[in-house]
A and B are shown apart, each in its own frame.
Chain A
C-alpha cells in the first residue's frame, strides 16, 4: 500500500494525519498498520547501525588522526588546530615570549621545527574571521609592506606583522588619540611596526611618511568607507592587493546589509578587480570582506 511507505515522512503534516486517521476506522486495516510499523522499525534500526559503523570508521580514519594536530596553511606563518567544531588559528610569534593582549602561547614542533605560536581569537578581528571562514586569497605574502587603516589598539595589526615577518613592514594608521596611545606602546615592542596618527580621509597628511605599499587593509567604521578605500589606492603598487572589511551598519542603519554590499561591490568593480568576497555572518554580524587587486 502506498501510504505505508510514505507514512513516516508525511506524519508531521497535520492535514495528512487526518486522512490517515480515517483509514484506520476498520480494525483489520489498523492491525495491518501495526505489523508493518514494527517491520519498518527493525529495518530502520539496521540502517542506523550501518550508518553509525560507517561514521565511526570515518572518524577513526580521518578526524581522530588530525584532531589536535597543528597544521600549516597556505598563508605565511599561519597554522590551524582542528577541533571537534571549527578550528583554532595561530601565527608564529615574531617576538618570542611575549603576548600583548592576554592570548595563549604554545611552543610545539611542527615539521621538525620548534615554533612559538600565538593564538588568534577570530571573534575579535575581521581578518581572523575571514581566515576562519576559508577565504581563498588574502594577497599578503612574506616581506610585504602593509598599510593598515583603522588599526585601533593594534590587535589585528600585530597578527599581520606576524604574517609578514621580520623582513616586511606594517604601517598602522588610526585617528583617535586615546587608541593610538596603546598602539604606540605596542609598536615600540615590535620592530616591523610603526604608528601613524592621521585621518584616512586626508592622504596628503601622511604622504611623506609612506613608501609604495604592497598591500592595503582597511577596517574603519565610516559612512564613506568605499570612497576612502579608493582614495588610498595611490599608495598601492601595480597589481598589489587591497582588502576592505565593510561594516554595513555604519553606512546606513535603515537599509538591508545585502543591498549595501551589492552597491559597494558595483562601485569597487569600476576601479579594481575583485578576487574574493565573503560575508562574515556567523562570526561578525552584518560585515563582509572584499579582496581586490589593483589594475
Chain B
C-alpha cells in the first residue's frame, strides 16, 4: 500500500491511468471481433427485413405482380433497382398490369431504396465471409461441427472462447434458452431441451421425440471440440461428427 499519497496525488493518479490503459489495450482479442461481427449480421438482418417490407409496399404501386413470383428479398430489390417497368412486365409475360404507371420523379425514391437494400445485402455477405475466415483459423473444430452462424452465436452468448471451453456440456445445451431455463428453476415449469443448438440440422431434422437426445449428444461433442480448440490440440472434429451421425441414424 502507498504511504505518501496526499503529497504526490497527481503522480499516483497518473499511475492508475497508465495501469488501466495498458490492460485495456491487452483486453482486445479475437473473441471481440467475432462477437461484433455476429451482432452486426443480426442487426443488418433486422434492418433489411424492415426496409424490404417498405419496398414491397412502395413498389407494389406500379408492379404489384412481381412480389408474387419472387419471394426472395435480395433478387426483388435487385430487379427493381436495375429494370424499368416495361422490362419487368415483359419478363413476367404480362400484357396489362394492375399497377399505376408512375412518373420518373416518383420512381426515384423507390429506386434509391432498392439500391440501399442491395448494398446492405452485399455488406452482410462480406461480413459473413470475414466471419468464416476468422472462425476457420480460431476455432476449426467447433466450426466443422456447427457451421458459421451457429458457432458465432454460441461464442457471442458465452462471451469468449475461454468461458465456452470451461462450460460443461449441459450448459452448452442450454445456451440461448436462458429465460426458459430460469423459469423452470423458479416456478417448476418444463425444462427446455435446447437453445441455439436447435438451428443445427441434426437436431432440427430429428424426430420430435428424439430431439432432446440429439441436442444432448451434439452439446457433448461441441464442448469437447471447444476444449480442444482452446488448448490448441489437433483436428478431431471429423471423428466426433462421424460418431454423432452413426449414433443418430440408429
Known contacts: A169-B9, A210-B2, A211-B2. The answer to whether A253 contacts B186 by CB under 8 A is: yes
A74 CB, min distance to chain B CBs, angstroms: 26
Given A177-B27, A210-B1, A211-B5, A184-B185 contact (CB < 8 Å):
no
Interface size class of A (residues with CB under 8 A): 20 to 34
Query: A235 and B1: CB pair below 8 A?
Result: yes
Kindly identify which residue among B2, B12, B24, B186 contacts A197, using a CB–CB cutoff of 8 Å. Answer: B24
Known: A197-B24, A253-B185. A209 touches B17 (CB 8 A): no
Secondary structure at chain A's binding surface: helix, strand, loop or mixed? mixed
Q: How far is the CA of A86 from the CA of B227 in the complex (A)?
A: 55
Q: How far is the CA of A153 from the CA of B94 in the complex (A)?
A: 61
Within 8 A of B (CB), among A153-211: 169, 171, 177, 180-181, 184, 187-188, 194-198, 206-211
Q: How far is the CB of B124 from chain A (nearest CB, A)?
A: 24
Distance of B181 from chain A, by nearest CB (Å): 10
Residues of A with C-beta under 8 A to B185? 253-254
Question: Do the beta carbons of B3 and A211 come within 8 Å of each other?
Answer: yes
Of residues 1 through 53 on chain B, the ones whose CB sits less than 8 Å from some CB of chain A are: 1-3, 5, 9, 12-13, 15-17, 19-21, 23-24, 27-28
**A195 engages B16 (CB within 8 Å):** yes
Q: Which residue of A lies closest to B5 (CB)?
A: A211
Contacts of A207 in B (CB 8 A): 1
Q: Does B130 contact A (CB under 8 A)?
A: no
Q: How far is the CB of B161 from chain A (nearest CB, A)?
A: 16
Cβ contacts under 8 Å, A198 to chain B = 23
Assembly CA distance A254 to B188 (angstroms): 11
- The contact of A194 among B1, B2, B17, B24, by CB within 8 Å, is B17
In the complex, what distance in Å separates the CA atom of A194 from the CA atom of B15?
A: 9
Report Cα–Cα, A188/B12, bound state, in Å.
14
Asked if A181 and B5 sit within 8 Å, CB to CB, the answer is no
A32 within 8 A of B: no
Q: How far is the CB of B177 from chain A (nearest CB, A)?
A: 16
In the complex, the chain B residue whose C-beta lies closest to that of A210 is: B1
In the complex, the answer to whether B1 meets A211 with C-beta atoms within 8 Å is: yes
Give B26's nearest chain A residue, CB to CB.
Answer: A177
Check if A209 sits within 8 Å of B16, measured CB to CB.
yes
* Least Cβ–Cβ distance between A273 and chain B, in angstroms: 23
Contact with B along A203-242 (1 / 0, CB 8 A): 0001111111000000000000000000000010000000
Query: Taking the complex as formed, is B235 at the interface, i.e. its CB lies under 8 A from any CB of chain A?
Result: no
A184-B21 contact given A169-B9, A177-B27, A210-B2, CB 8 Å threshold = yes
Enumerate chain A interface residues (CB-CB to B < 8 A): 145, 169, 171, 177, 180-181, 184, 187-188, 194-198, 206-212, 235, 253-254
Q: Which 4 A-B pairs have the closest CB atoms?
A: A211-B5, A194-B16, A177-B27, A211-B2
